[in-house]
A and B are shown apart, each in its own frame.
Chain A
């Protein structure tokens, strides 16, 4: 039997895989430099948690989490329709701050910094996923489905169109493509999956507060996407496993917990630097960005 600790790690890896695959769709395939990805994750988590606490069944909370994140992505896309590259990165970063501030300050809804405790574990058609092993199975199935759906999207002509827009937006326009529509769709899908990941996180930990969704949380996810290789789905999965397990190994070295946190950041930075120097396209990446 798997140890409780290992099961916990695998669940987190599963959730992170969904989150990273979602970012891969927007960043790796569509070239949308979205640093506000965590906001979608947070919106999914809060939406799902709040609905569950008011008695909604899990499946509806789960889908609503994705839908609210998706809706906010449509709005973000409308606002940012005229900008791209570094400027887009800045605005999406701002978006993340805004959502974080809302979580922190909408006291009556989110209980602010106190967070939302007592989020119920999911029950689907009478089956309760209250123990961690069954939750691992649930996360694995959903992560598998998300992988297959994103693979299907990226292999389709629509996926090729996303990559075309990433490589050369002007050329795509000259071929008659409505690149705004395409990018909006991609960002919305990416947000939807990030929202699902948020919901899974909330119902697993059963407590969420704004600190889990601060801007800094984008660092491990963006690292995964870059280390795994832009526009590579297997690379994303491998990088999620590696980048989640490496910092965990530190626990066994015996560092005090005050050092563990910063060490984690140092490791991400180090892995990122090594990859950029020795393997700039990541594990399995084929894409070179200009």
Chain B
């Protein structure tokens, strides 16, 4: 059983074949790293998985743990894919700049806020929880947020707008937000790019802890040392294709990989 299965994915932009017949899969409970030189198509693959762009051809399957079968998510929009269980962190900051850190995180819990009548006036509708249950849920959500923030030494920023965060802090908040967002696959695009060594260790520890808890993580990272240390499996892309796959040790000694990086 694979959490994510990608088959013969193709995507071109103008004359550039960004993703070219790319196939790989992600196993549950493991950290899989997607590496490759700049422009090898890694972020495009992420954009295809999360539905931001649509492939020219090929298929993407996501395992649905509730129905015990694969779901074809190839041409679905991003919000539906997210609700099927893919949670993503972007390469650049995508926080809600004018909302507070706490509000940013509260938005991730569920989509009850989309229901206007129950959200604004506390009115019950069929299949909805009562207004008082909603309030107590809100309280417990706030508690979870406070615990997370305290754990990452961000408690003092809870009430500050997200635009006041430093680069490293906003990376952390974004990772936390993707954790809170209900999911069974976490995809992280360069989670440690540009952060301090101290924060890098913190994120590494967090990722390993998440794996212990059974999380499935797919990440893109340029830092080889970090990637080969943290991941269980490594997929190497070059020019839109998968050129190698294996454990970190196998990848370290793979001549194809060395060639792609030395080119």
Contacts and interface: CB of A to CB of B under 8 A. Distances in A.
Interface of A: 152-153, 156-161, 163-164, 166-168, 170-179, 181-182, 185, 231, 286-288, 290
Given A171-B94, A175-B107, A175-B177, A164 B119 contact: no
B220 to A, nearest CB: 16
11 contacts: A157-B106, A157-B107, A157-B113, A157-B119, A157-B138, A161-B107, A161-B119, A172-B96, A174-B79, A177-B79, A286-B161
B97 A176 contact: no
Nearest to B181: A175
Given A173-B78, A174-B50, A174-B88, A156 B96 contact: no
Q: How large is the interface on B (under 10, 10 to 19, 20 to 34, 35 or more residues)?
A: 35 or more
A235 B161 CA distance: 19
A178 B79 contact: yes
B82 A175 contact: yes
A176 B97 CA distance: 18
Contacts of B119: 156-158, 161
B120 A153 contact: yes
Contact of B96 (A157, A159, A164): A164
Contacts of A173: 77-79, 82
Contacts of A159: 120
Interface of B: 50, 52, 77-80, 82-83, 87-88, 90, 94-99, 103-104, 106-108, 111-116, 119-121, 138, 161, 163, 177, 181-182
Contacts of B50: 174
A286 B98 CA distance: 8
A163 B177 contact: no
Given A157-B119, A161-B107, A185-B116, A167 B97 contact: yes
B93 to A, nearest CB: 9
* Contact residues of A: prevailing secondary structure: helix
A9 to B, nearest CB: 33
A181 B119 CA distance: 15
Contacts of A153: 120
Nearest to B89: A174
Contacts of A167: 95-99
Which of B80, B108, B116 counts the most chain A CB atoms within 10 A? Answer: B116
Q: Considering residues A164, A166, A185, which has the most beta carbons from chain B within 10 angstroms of its beta carbon? A: A164
A182 B78 contact: no
Contact of A177 (B87, B111, B116, B182): B111
Given A174-B82, A176-B82, A161 B120 contact: no
Contacts of B79: 173-174, 176-179
Contacts of A170: 52, 78, 94
B22 to A, nearest CB: 21
Interface centre among A157, A179, A185, A286 (most CB of B within 10 A): A157
B156 to A, nearest CB: 19
Contact of A182 (B87, B114, B182): B114
Contacts of B103: 160, 164
Given A168-B96, A174-B82, A160 B116 contact: no
Contact of A174 (B94, B106, B115, B120): B94
A231 B113 contact: no
Nearest to A157: B113
Contacts of B120: 152-153, 156, 158-159
Nearest to A31: B98
